[in-house]
Structure 1
Amino acid sequence: MSERATPIETLSPPTFETLLRTVEEMNTPDGFKAELIRGKIVVSPWSKLRYYRPMRALREQLQAHAPEGHVADTAPFLFQFPAANRAYGPDLYVTDESAFDEEGRHADGTALSLVAESTSLSTKDVDWQEKLDVYGGVVPIYLVVDMQEREITRFSDPSPHGYRSRTTVSFGEPLHVPHPIECDIDTTGF
């Protein structure tokens, strides 16, 4: 498979539930994930090896400050946002563990307290535009770890019109993450 995200076109617009079922039944190659982006199934590669250390450092710091009953992880689960007809597999997330009590394979996006995406050339526009719009109405905190610009941006205070707060720092500078996490992220190792 190529490094670029690949949309799968269909003849008639399928329902959100049909697309979710199709993603569930897909035999996605090792190293790739399938998401519902802009009403299409998109298969894209997992992050490059050099992204491992920054994302691990971020996960460890977030887990230490996660609200009680929440977990920080990078496991390949889809979180669904039915109102937007979207389902994403975030690079890193902090969510209420009760999201995994349900049957099925797609967790409720409203259980998320934080999402972090590390940008790549193939997904950068989706991370900065589409996911920003969808997460901005539901998820309390969205972090964009921009590997190309060597910056991390925190979006917080979601509303029906998107996030109301944005802060960007260069790698090496601390980034404050507000409630419900409430900590300063050390980005020196990023």
Structure 2
Amino acid sequence: MTVMAEQTAISGAEPSGFEELLDILDELQLRDGFKAEIIGGKIVVSPWSQGYYYRVMESVCEQLRSYLPPEHRISYGPFLFVFPGDERAYGPDIHAAPGRVFETTSNRLDGEALTFVAELTSSSTRDDDLTEKVEVYGRAGVPVHLLLDMQEEQATVLWTPSAKGYESRITRPFGEKLPVPAPLDCLLDTAGFQAP
């Protein structure tokens, strides 16, 4: 389920822009198991992933950790990365960035500092994961974007970021090994990514 706040502010007035939407996000008190993002000029609240997604996210992090550039961290969890040029703020399922990015008291992290990002699609966010987020991550210069289509059971790696999104991509069905380009430069084994 996705709940959209169609330009409705907590104070009762309509938000006047991206910064005000970010302020509203700061004030939201979500139930456990939900996350909020700014997608297409709206605050979108969606539930956290299905239980088996945990296994997939753990596997991706474990496999890629030793290939990260020095001083980089990879994790999953409720972190909000902001893309001011596109007026978007996403909570990617998996993210990698230099450790310094997390040395802040702000909950608004620099999206352009991401080295790697991965999204696991769900029925409520699939359209945005496959379109808008791909374009925004590419325009922001995120070097590698992994898209795990959990409904189609296939993995796509995108690289060569550009103003239009990404210029290069490879797709493999779950169960096969997927080449992940620099700066990671490794093979990701997608065996076991299928639903139970």
TM-score > 0.5, shorter chain as reference = yes
Unpaired stretches in structure 2, ≥5 consecutive residues:
none
Displacement of 1:104 in angstroms is 1.2
User: What's the counterpart of residue 177 of structure 1?
Assistant: 180
CA contact (8 A) 1:137 1:158 kept: yes
TM norm structure 2 = 0.92
Out of 125, 128, 133, the residue aligned to residue 126 of structure 1 is 128
Is residue 146 of structure 1 aligned with residue 152 of structure 2? no
User: What's the counterpart of residue 63 of structure 1?
Assistant: 65
Show CA shifts across 1:131-166 (max 9, x none): 011011121111111111110001101011210001
Paired positions, count: 187
The aligned runs of 1:22-171 (5 Å cut-off) are: 22-138=24-140, 139-171=142-174
Show CA shifts across 1:21-74 (max 9, x none): 111111011000000000111100111002111111011111121111111101
Displacement of 1:108 in angstroms is 0.2
User: What's the counterpart of residue 188 of structure 1?
Assistant: 191
Unpaired stretches in structure 1, ≥5 consecutive residues:
none
Displacement of 1:189 in angstroms is 2.1
Question: What RMSD in Å do the two structures reach over aligned CA positions?
Answer: 1.1
Distance 2:26 2:101 in 1: 17
Out of 2, 8, 33, the residue aligned to residue 5 of structure 1 is 2
CA contact (8 A) 2:159 2:169 kept: yes
177-186 or 97-106, which moves further after superposition?
97-106
CA contact (8 A) 1:65 1:181 kept: yes
CA contact (8 A) 1:145 1:153 kept: yes
Letter in 1 for 2:137: Y
TM norm structure 1 = 0.95
44-53 or 5-14, which moves further after superposition?
5-14
Indicate the SS of the match to 1:87: strand
Percentage of pairs with the same residue: 49
Indicate the SS of the match to 1:60: helix
